[in-house]
Amino acid sequence: MANQKILATAFALMVSSVNADNCLTASGGEYKLVASLTAKYCTSDSLACTTGTGGKCDCGSACCKKVPNLCGSMTGTCETGHYKDDGKKMVAATAATFKTACCTAMKMCDITCPAGMKDKAGKATIKCQGSTCGSSECCEPDATKCMGLTVSNSACDAGHYADNDKVGVAATATTYTSSCCTAKKMCDFTCSAGMKNKAAYATTKCASTCSASECCDAVTTPMCMNHAVAAGKGCAATEFPSMSATAVKADSSDYKTLCCTAKATCEAFAASKLASSASGAVKQQAVSFAMVAIAGLVAVAM
């Protein structure tokens, strides 16, 4: 019986390690799974969840919630001259300690103004609103450069545009058009699936960098991505629509079959192993520790 209890404990340890909270894992502890996962759906069929720059987590909004009593999950007002510091979002706090735990004193402007801008008067005494100072806080357009002249409504000749690559070029109202403007180019944009070149594509001049709205039109053939779905023939609440170029019938009779995919459930998300490399490594490490623990317990049981 004792041996059975030890093995049962080992198995429970393995299960709890394998079924780690994916919200906690992906967010580094800022979010956790909601208490009830029943009848909750992600926005797509993807169970992947990454955070930070370029991160994507289609299950996050429905399946995760902020961990309470952390600066990141609290709302409060900092003292004058201080700001809520995002760098402290994982710091434990209460309503009583919010100001000391979650706020940081504002710093004075400390940035070098970008091309086309100059220091604001009194820059050295201007306090920034966050951990980094922005050009809008510390700088202003320089009227002796293309940027400042563009802001003051100087205009380019017909067929030309104010070139962002020239914002720092020295100019005057007299030399603005020659110093700050560039001739517009014809469409050179590659239209994506479901789009086609406009009839006047070869003779259409772009405002600056060419875009789909300037050079492309939607293909009129009904497709998943552009079809106006007839009433009652769209995706169910538990499905999401495809943005593919798959052709569909004009009456939408085959839309649901060809264009709708079941959303992943929060239950599936909670049970999954995250696809991201970082979170996967964390989870695999947890499994490894569990297996080591189990081996040790089994050896004792023997």
For residue range 136-186, list pLDDT tens digits in order.
999 999 999 999 999 888 899 999 999 999 999 999 999 999 999 999 999
Predicted confidence at residue 19, as pLDDT, reads 56
Residue 5 pLDDT greater than 60, yes or no: no
**262-279 burial code (b ≥16 CB/10 A, e <16):** ebbbbebbbebebebeeb
- Looking at per-residue pLDDT, the higher value among 53 and 267 belongs to 267
- Dump pLDDT digits (tens) for 195-232: 999 999 999 999 999 999 999 998 888 999 889 999 99
Interatomic CA distance for residues 169 and 295, integer angstroms: 70
- Dump pLDDT digits (tens) for 9-35: 343 333 334 458 999 999 889 999 999
What number of other Cβ atoms are within 10 A of residue 141's Cβ? 18
Interatomic CA distance for residues 127 and 287, integer angstroms: 48
Interatomic CA distance for residues 131 and 122, integer angstroms: 20
- Dump pLDDT digits (tens) for 219-266: 888 999 889 999 999 999 999 999 888 999 999 999 999 999 999 999
Interatomic CA distance for residues 212 and 199, integer angstroms: 13
Average pLDDT, the chain: 85
Residue 2 pLDDT greater than 90, yes or no: no
Name the pLDDT band for 275 (thresholds 50, 70, 90): low
What are the φ/ψ torsions at residue 290 (nearest 5 degrees)? -65, -45
Predicted confidence at residue 154, as pLDDT, reads 86
Residue 7 pLDDT greater than 80, yes or no: no
Of the listed ranges 6-10, 50-54, 150-154, 289-293, the one predicted with least confidence: 289-293
Predicted confidence at residue 35, as pLDDT, reads 96
